[in-house]
């Protein structure tokens, strides 16, 4: 390893022209060579390096924390991590400021005064846990365990929350996935099994990107921006991005194609039409690996002409024809999608239409193609609590039979309608008051209502908008202070990783594994209630150690002790500083394994198996593989072992089983002055979580709304002018940012700004005194030079839900944009519960309540809903 002194470093970076010219590549080499080591710039003393797993957003990069005198002074990528390859993004580099946030909560709090009033009292952990345990105990003794509700946003606890709720016997567990990407998942799962793809960007020749901001957001923007850059530079790949705005990904692409919101599905079907019409499909792949024939597919796609799609999407028919030929002739090629196509009323149909292009061209599980995710599991300590006895209607609403990732953004309305009583609401790492449609007008209203929610406990280190309405706050700890197992399919190599405390929990902060165990021990002190036996861990470390016990190969390598030292397992090779890639022992770049569906079944697997006339291999009542050309393959992890182009269960409920497109009814006949509101993410922010991170807030703190030049001219606004954006559920006042990089019918307002909670920096209330909840003041807050915190759009976005995927229709809102009126002030946001309730009722009209439904849910027999899936068009927009 290169020995680096400060003098050598200066010699390389400064001085002569030749050195300056050499500097970038030398520096890059040094940086990766140095990976895993760091020095104090004054004393040259080596800093303590502790590997861990980043959790600033949710990409799960391997990180190394450098600690000096018990304080994290620097974060960097773990060079041994196969996906991260030594690099972190801007957010990852700033992660220590979660811990050192001067407004962090460092001891338990109890509200005094009215809920949401902002008055708090410091209490002891004993008092806090006794009160929470008492409330839970009350429900368990006098009510139904399902009255205890847990809603989490980000849950990387590795099963801890699930174990806790099962121990209590409650099935009322809600997540945030319906505001995230659920219709993408539901579009994919019945088709090929997993809910995500892993495109091989590094080795591809062509990327068709439908609505993902690969370089700035997306799962998994750090590893993927590295790989797509390699694809571009090393393989000369062409990248085509469909987006309603010129994201940095669209800017990096060879072509940005602005598409009318919600119409990606139509474009993808028309591309498929051209491919099939010109016989450019991979017939062998379709015949061998899907449940339809080439003839059927051709017949089905005949209707989706480029002219039809052009009319809907605004993408010219010639462009569709050209892209179709380019994509089909490029080999290998891959599609990629994220929230762009999915976050619409018919998002699941859109997703399926997009993935069909990789399927019909046979690019699946190929080098440079569209691959299955490679995951690696870890275990759960034994014994485990059984599943709760009764299901919860909030977690599994019968109107959404396919929403396997739930429809959590509609839950406030269902609680208000009395569909299920909630006596205790447990809130973990979830800020729906800021992040969900309706925001304060819906979730703030719900949380302040002590009749609907008699008790609210929030587990968080920060006074976010959701914590402001707590009865009790338990001071959870940020990611650099806790234990968690990790695994993510963020490259083509499976791995398990460890999040470990690189510093001790600050103040009285505690991690979830500790305080949830303490709660259970209070509820069942002597074990007589049968709960304690699932919660006998010596420590968090002991708990996590048990989780890694049975990971094949890891145990022999040293189990948890290996992970504490290296952060990740396995280590596939060494990072080559010259290329930034990982090499094996012979010095060659490591290669992923492809063709997972073509793994052959063993003789033992085939013992007692039968093969049907389609070639599907069955055993013990399950499909275990596919026989093709005399060989027995495992096939795809879908129920049938094939790719289900025709999804039979969708048809059972009256949805179309084949790839189709359905238009958003309220987008038809838009008036001249109506536009669509979209929302997106900045590369340096994570939804609600980073507005108080000073390094990131300095880079982006305001979110003026991008609006197309021609549109701005028509409306009569310039950059910086106040505009009023009016939706069917409210209005807001922000500033315009005039740009060519925006679809003329779309206005964009990002998330991440405009907080009304979350500490003084996020709110720009810097005159207020700090350290209210025990943290140390940060003198840097005196240096804040900006006075614009931006405006948050969610209050004016109604809660639309995809009847199949359950996803929130984030990108569907029809708005009017005008210059601000007299009296309008920057940052005004107006909306109401009643308006959102009205829109919620409209969205429920789209859900399926037909015959099959009534059979399965007799309680819905009298439900006045449409018998077919043809939706009623909501009045208004």
Ligand X SMILES: Nc1nc2c(c(=O)[nH]1)N[C@H]1C(S)=C(S)[C@@H](COP(=O)(O)OP(=O)(O)OC[C@H]3O[C@@H](n4cnc5c(=O)[nH]c(N)nc54)[C@H](O)[C@@H]3O)O[C@H]1N2
**Where on the chain is the footprint of ligand X (CB under 6 A)?**
57-58, 153-154, 176, 179-181, 210-213, 216-219, 221, 242-245, 247, 259, 261-262, 264, 338-341, 428-432, 435, 459-462, 464, 467, 476, 478-479, 678-681, 683, 685-689, 751, 793-794, 811
Min separation Cβ 55 and ligand X, Å: 7
Structure tokens at 573: 């090779």
Q: Which does 464 bind (CB under 5 to 8 A by kind): Mo ion, ligand X, none?
A: ligand X
Of 161 and 725, CB closest to Mo ion: 161
Of 210 and 569, CB closest to ligand X: 210
Of 32 and 335, CB closest to ligand X: 335
Q: Which residue has the tokens 């948050």?
A: 792
DSSP E strand stretches across 443-596? 455-459, 472-474, 484-486, 496-499, 568-569, 574-576, 581-583
Q: Which does 200 bind (CB under 5 to 8 A by kind): Mo ion, ligand X, none?
A: none
Do the beta carbons of residue 626 and residue 835 sit within 8 Å?
no
Of 154 and 701, CB closest to Mo ion: 154
Do the beta carbons of residue 40 and residue 487 sit within 8 Å?
no
Determine how many CB atoms are found less than 10 A away from the CB of residue 377: 13
DSSP E strand stretches across 496-563? 496-499
Of 185 and 646, CB closest to ligand X: 185
Structure tokens at 256: 């940005």
Of 756 and 811, CB closest to ligand X: 811
Min separation Cβ 689 and ligand X, Å: 4
Of 285 and 338, CB closest to ligand X: 338
Residues 152 to 181: which contact Mo ion by CB under 5 A?
A: 180
Of 204 and 751, CB closest to Mo ion: 751
How far apart are the C-alpha atoms of 831 and 747, rounded to whole Å? 19
636: Cβ contacts below 8 Å, ≥ 6 apart: 192, 193, 289, 372, 597, 642, 643
Q: Which residue has the tokens 């709720």?
A: 165
Instruction: Give the total of residues touching Mo ion (CB under 5 A).
Output: 1
Q: Residue 393 in 3-state DSSP?
A: coil
Contacts 24+ apart (CB under 8 A), 456-459: 456/115, 456/425, 456/427, 457/132, 457/135, 457/424, 457/425, 457/426, 457/427, 458/427, 459/426, 459/427, 459/428, 459/429, 459/512, 459/515
Min separation Cβ 335 and ligand X, Å: 12
Q: Which does 413 bind (CB under 5 to 8 A by kind): Mo ion, ligand X, none?
A: none
Q: Which does 262 bind (CB under 5 to 8 A by kind): Mo ion, ligand X, none?
A: ligand X
Q: Which residue has the tokens 């919660």?
A: 535
Q: Residue 54 in 3-state DSSP?
A: coil
Q: Which does 47 bind (CB under 5 to 8 A by kind): Mo ion, ligand X, none?
A: none
Min separation Cβ 241 and ligand X, Å: 8
Min separation Cβ 683 and Mo ion, Å: 15
Min separation Cβ 360 and ligand X, Å: 20
Min separation Cβ 176 and Mo ion, Å: 7
Do the beta carbons of residue 503 and residue 481 sit within 8 Å?
yes
Of 617 and 696, CB closest to ligand X: 696
Half-sphere exposure (CA, 13 Å, Cβ side) for 695? 14
How far apart are the C-alpha atoms of 111 and 114, rounded to whole Å? 8
Q: Which does 183 bind (CB under 5 to 8 A by kind): Mo ion, ligand X, none?
A: none
* Residue in 741, 699, 701 with CA at minimum distance from that of residue 719: 741
Min separation Cβ 687 and Mo ion, Å: 7
Of 169 and 261, CB closest to ligand X: 261
The radius of gyration of the chain from alpha carbons, rounded to an integer in Å, stands at 27
Min separation Cβ 680 and Mo ion, Å: 12
Min separation Cβ 376 and Mo ion, Å: 22
Site string for Mo ion, 237-276 (x = CB under 5 A): ----------------------------------------
Of all residues in the shown chain, the one whose CB is closest to ligand X is 153
Q: Which does 219 bind (CB under 5 to 8 A by kind): Mo ion, ligand X, none?
A: ligand X
Of 351 and 511, CB closest to Mo ion: 351
DSSP E strand stretches across 552-684? 568-569, 574-576, 581-583, 610-611, 616-619, 622-628, 631-633, 674-678
Of 180 and 403, CB closest to Mo ion: 180
Of all residues in the shown chain, the one whose CB is closest to Mo ion is 180
Min separation Cβ 54 and Mo ion, Å: 16
Q: Which does 462 bind (CB under 5 to 8 A by kind): Mo ion, ligand X, none?
A: ligand X
* Using rule CB under 5 A, residue 59 touches Mo ion: no
How far apart are the C-alpha atoms of 267 and 468, rounded to whole Å? 44
Of 104 and 300, CB closest to ligand X: 104
Q: Which does 703 bind (CB under 5 to 8 A by kind): ligand X, Mo ion, none?
A: none
Min separation Cβ 198 and ligand X, Å: 15
577: Cβ contacts below 8 Å, ≥ 6 apart: 28, 29, 30, 31, 32, 33
Site string for Mo ion, 176-195 (x = CB under 5 A): ----x---------------
Q: Which does 261 bind (CB under 5 to 8 A by kind): Mo ion, ligand X, none?
A: ligand X
Q: Which does 259 bind (CB under 5 to 8 A by kind): ligand X, Mo ion, none?
A: ligand X
Q: Which does 334 bind (CB under 5 to 8 A by kind): ligand X, Mo ion, none?
A: none
3-state secondary structure 699-752: HCCCCCEEEEHHHHHHHCCCCCCEEEEEECCEEEEEEEEEECCECCCEEECCCC
How far apart are the C-alpha atoms of 195 and 797, rounded to whole Å? 26
Min separation Cβ 64 and Mo ion, Å: 26
Min separation Cβ 75 and Mo ion, Å: 22
Of 145 and 793, CB closest to ligand X: 793
Bridge-based pairing of strands 120-122 and 484-486 is unpaired
Please give the residue ranges that form the binding site for Mo ion (CB under 5 A).
180
């Amino acid at each position: 390893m290169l020995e680096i002194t400060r003098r050598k470093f200066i010699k390389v970076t400064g001085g002569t022209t030749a050195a300056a010219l050499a500097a970038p590549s030398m520096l890059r080499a040094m940086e990766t060579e140095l990976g895993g080591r760091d020095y104090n710039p004054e004393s040259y003393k080596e800093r303590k390096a502790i590997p861990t797993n980043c959790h600033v957003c949710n990409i799960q990069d391997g990180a190394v924390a450098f600690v000096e005198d018990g304080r994290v002074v620097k974060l960097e990528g773990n060079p041994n991590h196969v996906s991260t390859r030594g690099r972190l993004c801007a957010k990852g580099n700033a992660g220590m400021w979660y811990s050192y946030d001067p407004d962090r909560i460092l001891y338990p709090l109890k509200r005094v005064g009215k809920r949401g009033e902002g008055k708090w009292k410091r209490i002891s952990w004993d008092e806090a846990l006794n009160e929470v345990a008492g409330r839970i105990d009350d429900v368990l003794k006098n009510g139904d365990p399902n009255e205890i509700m847990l809603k989490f946003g980000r849950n990387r606890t590795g099963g801890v929350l699930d174990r806790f709720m099962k121990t209590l016997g409650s099935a009322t567990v809600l997540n945030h996935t319906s505001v995230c990407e659920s219709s993408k998942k539901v579009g994919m799962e019945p088709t090929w099994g997993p809910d995500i793809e892993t495109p091989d960007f590094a080795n591809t020749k062509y990327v068709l990107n439908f609505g993902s901001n690969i370089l700035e957001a997306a799962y998994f923007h750090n590893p993927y921006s590295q790989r797509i850059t390699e694809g571009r530079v090393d393989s000369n790949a062409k990248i085509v991005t469909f987006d309603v705005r010129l994201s940095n990904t669209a800017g990096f692409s060879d072509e940005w194609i602005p598409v009318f919101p919600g119409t990606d599905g139509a474009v993808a079907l028309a591309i498929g039409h051209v491919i099939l019409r010109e016989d450019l499909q991979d017939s062998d792949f379709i015949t061998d690996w899907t449940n339809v024939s080439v003839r059927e597919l051709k017949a089905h796609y005949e209707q989706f002409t480029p002219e039809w799609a052009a009319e809907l999407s605004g993408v010219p028919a010639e462009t569709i024809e050209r892209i179709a030929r380019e994509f089909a002739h490029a080999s290998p090629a891959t599609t990629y999608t994220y929230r762009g196509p999915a976050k619409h009323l018919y998002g699941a149909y859109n997703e399926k239409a997009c993935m069909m292009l990789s399927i019909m061209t046979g690019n699946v599980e190929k080098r440079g193609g569209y691959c299955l995710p490679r995951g690696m599991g870890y275990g759960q300590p034994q014994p485990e609590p059984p599943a709760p006895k009764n299901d919860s209607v909030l977690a599994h609403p019968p109107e959404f039979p396919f929403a396997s990732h739930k429809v959590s953004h509609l839950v406030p309305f269902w609680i208000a309608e009395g569909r299920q009583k909630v006596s205790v609401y447990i809130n973990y790492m979830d800020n729906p008051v800021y992040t969900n449609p309706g925001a304060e007008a819906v979730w703030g209203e719900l949380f302040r209502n002590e009749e609907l929610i008699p008790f609210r406990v929030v587990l968080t280190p920060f006074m976010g908008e959701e914590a402001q309405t707590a009865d009790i706050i338990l001071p959870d700890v940020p990611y650099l202070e806790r234990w968690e197992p990790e695994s993510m399919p963020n490259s083509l190599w499976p791995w398990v990783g460890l999040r470990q405390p690189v510093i001790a929990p600050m103040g009285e902060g505690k991690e979830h594994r500790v305080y949830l165990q303490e709660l259970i021990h209070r509820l069942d002190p002597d074990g007589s209630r049968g709960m304690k036996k699932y919660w006998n861990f010596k420590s968090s470390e002991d708990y996590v150690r048990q989780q890694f016990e049975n990971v094949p190969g890891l145990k022999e390598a040293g189990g948890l002790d290996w992970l504490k030292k290296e952060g990740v397992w396995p280590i596939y090779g060494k990072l080559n500083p010259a290329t930034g890639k990982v090499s094996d022992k012979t010095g060659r770049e490591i290669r992923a394994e492809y063709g997972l569906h073509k793994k052959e079944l063993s003789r033992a697997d085939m013992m007692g198996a039968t093969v049907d006339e389609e070639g599907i291999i069955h055993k013990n009542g399950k499909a275990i593989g596919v026989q093709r050309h005399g060989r027995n393959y495992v096939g795809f992890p879908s129920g049938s072992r094939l790719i289900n182009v025709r999804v039979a269960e969708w048809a059972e409920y009256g949805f179309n089983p084949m790839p189709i497109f359905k238009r958003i009814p309220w987008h038809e006949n838009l008036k001249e002055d109506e536009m669509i509101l979209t929302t997106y993410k900045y590369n340096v922010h994570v939804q609600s979580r980073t507005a108080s991170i000073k390094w990131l807030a300095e880079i982006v703190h305001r979110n003026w709304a991008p609006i197309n030049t021609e549109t701005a001219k028509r409306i009569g606004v310039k950059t910086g002018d106040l505009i009023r954006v009016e939706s069917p559920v409210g209005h807001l006042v922000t500033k315009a940012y005039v740009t060519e990089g925006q679809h003329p019918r779309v206005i964009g307002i990002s998330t991440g700004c405009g907080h009304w909670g979350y500490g003084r920096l996020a709110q720009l209330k810097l005159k207020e005194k700090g350290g209210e909840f025990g943290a140390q003041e940060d003198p840097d807050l005196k240096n804040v030079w900006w006075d614009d915190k931006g405006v948050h759009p969610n209050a004016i976005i109604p809660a639309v839900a995809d009847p199949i995927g359950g996803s929130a229709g984030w990108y569907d809102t029809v708005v009017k944009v005008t210059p601000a009126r007299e009296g309008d002030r920057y940052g005004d946001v107006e909306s109401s519960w009643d308006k959102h309730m009205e829109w919620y009722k409209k969205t429920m009209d789209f859900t399926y309540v037909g015959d099959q439904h009534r059979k399965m849910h007799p309680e819905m027999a009298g439900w006045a809903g449409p018998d077919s899936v043809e939706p009623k068009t909501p009045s208004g927009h």
